[in-house]
Chain A
Amino acid sequence: QVQVVQSGAEVKKPGASVKISCKASGYTFTSYYMHWVRQAPGQGLEWMGIINPSDGSTTYAQKFQGGVTMTRDTSTSTVYMELSSLRSEHTAVYYCARGGNSNVYFDYWGQGTLVTVSS
């Protein structure tokens, strides 16, 4: 069965970086895009960007360009998202989500990773 499992919660100081992992299993990793979605405390869902696990190409939402880097490792079926120059506003739960057939919706989600930025 399809599973998407994310790394655990992180606490970081302002100015630091964090790298979150998202390991996929139960399907052909390179056949489906992976997205990242942010949810600030008490807020809604915000699409951050997409990575094509087949070739590593990425597209980021304009709001997140410059501060986010998405990569993948096909040998371990894992995608990563690195956030740099963290500020308190980056405190949120970050989800990876698989792009469903035709890549227009998200059919399987990771459990979420809470990133807390605090001095």
Chain B
Amino acid sequence: EIVLTQSPGTLSLSPGERATLSCRASQSVSSNYLAWYQQKPGQAPRLLIYGASSRATGIPDRFSGSGSGTDFTLTISRLEPEDFAVYYCQQYGSSLWTFGQGTKVEIK
């Protein structure tokens, strides 16, 4: 089973700053099989990025994904107030779907 490790656990930033979130896999992951989600308190997760770098429908272009192999990154270019949330990466491989433990982006 591929384990995803996200860092940092918590990111304290101010609105307008750039956020860089990391997701590292224990084995190589196909770029096609890496996704990112945003979850706000009391809400279901929302798909942000799929295929490592493709934005889901309706996702603003301040969100971008990159990476390959075992290292993937979610970047939020300029944080808006509504972006403070928990972010999860997720991968698919060998008929298993797994999530990272999440990164919380909080207001500094």
Indicate if the CB atoms of B90 and A106 lie closer than 8 Å: yes
Tell which of A59, A95, A100, A105 has the most Cβ of chain B within 10 Å: A105
| Cβ–Cβ < 8 Å partners of B84 in chain A | none
Q: Does B85 contact A (CB under 8 A)?
A: no
Among the stretches A13-21, A39-47, A73-81, the one at the interface with B is A39-47
Indicate if the CB atoms of A45 and B44 lie closer than 8 Å: no
Please tell me the number of chain B residues within 8 Å of chain A, measured between CB atoms.
22
Pick the contact of A44: B32, B96, B97, B102 (CB < 8 A).
B102
What is the CA–CA distance of A65 and B84 in the complex, to the nearest angstrom? 35
Q: Which positions in A face B, CB cutoff 8 Å?
A: 35, 37, 44-47, 50, 59, 61, 95, 97, 100, 102-107, 109-112
Indicate if the CB atoms of B101 and A44 lie closer than 8 Å: yes
Pairs across A and B, CB under 8 Å, 6 listed: A44-B100, A45-B37, A45-B90, A46-B99, A97-B44, A107-B56
What is the CA–CA distance of A95 and B97 in the complex, to the nearest angstrom? 14
SS of B interface (majority): strand
Q: Does B45 contact A (CB under 8 A)?
A: yes
Indicate if the CB atoms of A45 and B96 lie closer than 8 Å: no
Indicate if the CB atoms of B44 and A105 lie closer than 8 Å: no
Tell me the number of A-to-B contacts counted with CB atoms below 8 Å: 56
What is the CA–CA distance of A69 and B53 in the complex, to the nearest angstrom? 34
Q: Does B88 contact A (CB under 8 A)?
A: yes
Pick the contact of A110: B44, B47, B92 (CB < 8 A).
B44
What is the CA–CA distance of A106 and B46 in the complex, to the nearest angstrom? 9
What is the CA–CA distance of A3 and B37 in the complex, to the nearest angstrom? 18
Indicate if the CB atoms of A106 and B88 lie closer than 8 Å: no
In the complex, what residue of chain A is closest to B92 when comparing beta carbons?
Answer: A104
| Cβ–Cβ < 8 Å partners of B37 in chain A | 45, 106
> Known contacts A44-B99, A46-B99, A105-B92; is A111 also within 8 Å of B35 by CB?
no
